Amino acid sequence: MTDQPNDRRPSREEAEEAVRTLLRWAGEDPEREGLHGTPDRVVRSYEEFYAGYADDPVALLARTFAEVEDYDEIVLLRDIRFESHCEHHMVPIIGRAHVAYLPRRRVVGISKLARIVDVYARRLQIQERMTAQIANTINDVLQPHGVAVIIEAGHQCMTTRGVHRPGVSMVTSRMLGAFRENSDTRRELLSMLGRPSGASAFD
């Protein structure tokens, strides 16, 4: 089946040709001097925007450290900035993720928590799924007492087109284990995030 046209990854040349088609569709002349390098640059941008398809998030988290001092409090990495692209319009979703877990025996280097956000952000996404994927992967690999992922993001498909609502951000959260079951644990997390306890969207 792999030689079916739909399964074959297009060549770089075909991808650049597709960009020229979109330029013509937009009303441009791809031969215009200023646009000569554009298909190449767009394709190279795609290599960055969608680099996450080549990464294995489970392998990324697999190297963990045994707890040194029996640490069993919340680990929170907040304000992880990310850029993603919405799968409906292929325009940017730009936001911040807050990732927390409550370790059970194993901890992971904190840079890995930021990397895991990037792996899922660098794919076509919807914010709800990205939030769940990050939480589920951390939960599956580290098997902690709980995981919480909160994402706040602006969607350019909403701010620059369609309903044109600049300044609007969307908040999604996924709480697993202790963060879901124990309101004290959840409150502690929210206070670490600087929100009034008991507030709103995360209950």
Residues with a known catalytic role: 86-89, 127, 155, 157
In 3D space, the residue among 58, 156, 141 whose CA is nearest the CA of residue 104 turns out to be: 141
Q: What does the per-residue mask of binding to Zn ion show for 12-41, with x meaning CB under 5 A?
A: ------------------------------
Q: Measured over all CA atoms, what is the biggest interatomic distance in the chain, rounded to whole angstroms?
A: 64
Rounded to whole angstroms, the Cα distance separating 45 from 74 reads: 37
Q: What does the per-residue mask of binding to Zn ion show for 101-140, with x meaning CB under 5 A?
A: ----------------------------------------
Q: Within 11-126, where are the H helices?
A: 12-26, 38-49, 57-62, 110-121
Q: Figure out which of the listed residues 38, 64, 89, 182 binds Zn ion, where binding follows CB under 5 A.
A: 89
Assigned token pair, 121: 């952000």
Rounded to whole angstroms, the Cα distance separating 203 from 200 reads: 6
Interaction between residue 157 and Zn ion (CB under 5 A): yes
Binding window for Zn ion (CB under 5 A); candidates: 22-30, 73-81, 150-158, 177-185: 150-158
Residues in contact with Zn ion by the rule CB under 5 A: 86, 88-89, 157
